[in-house]
Amino acid sequence: MSQRDAFTSTFGVLVATLGSAVGLGNIWKFPYLTGTNGGAGFLLVYLLATLLVGLPVMIAEIMLGRTARANAVSTLAQLAPRQPLWQSIGYMGLLAAVLILAFYTEVAGWVFAYIVKALRGQLQFTDPHSAAAAFGALVGSPWQALLWQWLVLAFTGGIIMLGVSKGIEAVTKRLMPLLFLLLFLLCVRSLTLPGAMAGLAFLLQPDFGKITTSVVLTALGLAFFKLSIGMGTMITYGSYFRDEQNIPATALRVMLADLSVSLLAGVAIFPAVFAFGFAPSAGPSLVFMTIPAVFYSMPGGSLFMTLFFVLTAIAATGAILSILEVPVAMLTERLGWHRRKATLVTLFTIALLGVPAALSHGVTAGWKLFGLNPFELFDFISSNILLPLGGILIALFAGWVYGLPKLRDALSNHGQLQNTRIIGLLYLLTRYVAPLLVAVILLKGLNVF
């Protein structure tokens, strides 16, 4: 059997993992959810969820993947051969992957379209009306919406076919550093706008009255979505980790860098929202309306606007690659399919499911289930139900089935790292805190009690 592909350097592991975490979640979802859920209070709950649940589950996932060196289903099959039920983590992850990609690639399609619009000087406005009209014209047109989505699928599918080291690692290594540079520039610009401080206050001064149970569930869902956990992505990436990689330290770095990107995106967007009179609660269209306004009146504005959307596209690409890798690794390893066939079948499934999602802002806008159109429904089921549920199961598996002695061995790299205290803390978090907390929020958020 040929050797299994893997990441080739410590830096490669870090950027690929960061490439998975950083994505539309930071630049698109984080700002708009913060806007619709009341600002700083939401941010605070999100931070707590990330520390108490997100980080421990992320470390557990990577550890399980690296121990088994296999896709998500096979990892659980290998680590608990007599308890096949645990494999449901992998199958639920497969479902989440497809659902997320059905709407995620749609939003990525908007980003790609905005690159072209910015280049052609079609985003020259600062008033909310023109901004809404430009966005509406794109998302309301069935063919445009679908074609851009398919372009994103073809592009990312092409990289996946190149493999783990030559595709995923090579691409993220080149692109991620650029992203940080541009985001930083953008913040400087946004903060120097007149009226910027109202935006900062919105982001940083919590109003505790606005924290309801549904806000807490959304924040928890975002914490899972952001760190790419609860669906086997980190199990899969963990299976490509190097033996000598310090897993807790790598996860911590990724979490902090990812959080910085979200905060920078917030700082880039909210001051502009208030300076130009946009509504912070605009929803999914928020970035697409405010960013052109931020750059419009600035020298070289079209260039910066273009660069911003290019970098958002980069972020989206790294994340999409990691979601695609979940089904692709499963299909190649479990069914013995060639990587090309596995990728094509995955892309085709997503394209099919993507149709109702892509048309949700026009043709299928009225197809509602529980008051949500297909786009919103796919997001809700995956982020707010499947990922938290997957997270509970992974934490329980790590804390109760895998257990402390093995946890110690795996996370200290067989005794080479001196991190007993951190492992002890992690054990408590995965065994008790994370499963309980997530279960309570999930049940309450879904109005079960």
User: Are 399 and 430 in contact, with CB atoms under 8 Å apart?
Assistant: yes
Q: Does 172 bind ligand PHE (CB under 6 A)?
A: no
Nearer to ligand PHE, 296 or 309 (CB): 309
N- to C-terminal Cα distance for the chain? 52
Beta bridge partners of 369: 372
Site for ligand PHE in 96-135 (CB under 6 A): 100
- DSSP characters over 276-294: HT--TT--TTHHHHHHHHH
The reply on whether position 23 binds ligand PHE by CB under 6 A is yes
Cα gap 144→375, rounded to integer Å: 16
Q: Which part of the chain contacts ligand PHE (CB under 6 A), choosing from 18-26, 65-73, 197-205, 276-284? A: 18-26
Query: Of 319, 331, 434, 438, which one interacts with ligand PHE (CB under 6 A)?
Result: 319
Question: Cβ neighbours of residue 324 under 8 Å, at least 6 residues apart?
Answer: 97, 101, 156, 157, 160, 343, 346, 347
Minimum CB distance to ligand PHE smaller for 20 or for 149? 20
Residue 323 binding ligand PHE, by CB under 6 A = yes
Select 20 or 332, whichever has its Cβ closest to ligand PHE: 20
Task: Select from 7, 13, 16, 20 the one that contacts ligand PHE (CB under 6 A).
Answer: 20
Task: CB nearer to ligand PHE: give 74 or 156.
Answer: 156
- Size of site (CB under 6 A) for ligand PHE: 15
Q: Report if residue 21 touches ligand PHE, rule: CB under 6 A.
A: yes
Which of 179, 172, 383, 176 minimizes the C-alpha distance to 264?
179
242 SS3 class: coil
Q: Closest separation between CB of residue 97 and ligand PHE, Å?
A: 7
Q: Kindly indicate which of the ranges 15-23, 74-82, 84-92, 196-204 contains the residues binding ligand PHE, using the contact rule CB under 6 A.
A: 15-23
- Which residues within the stretch 230-259 sit at the binding site for ligand PHE (CB under 6 A)? 231, 233
Quote the DSSP letter at residue 5.
P
**CB contact burial 189-214 (16+ within 10 A = b; e otherwise):** bbeebeebeebbebbeebeeeebeee
- Residue 322 binds ligand PHE (CB under 6 A): yes
Looking up tokens 């299928």 gives 364
Answer for which of 7, 42, 86, 225 binds ligand PHE (CB under 6 A) is: 225
Nearer to ligand PHE, 231 or 347 (CB): 231
CA proximity to 63, closest of 287, 241, 301 = 241
Which residues form the interface with ligand PHE (CB under 6 A)? 20-21, 23-26, 100, 225-226, 228, 231, 233, 319, 322-323
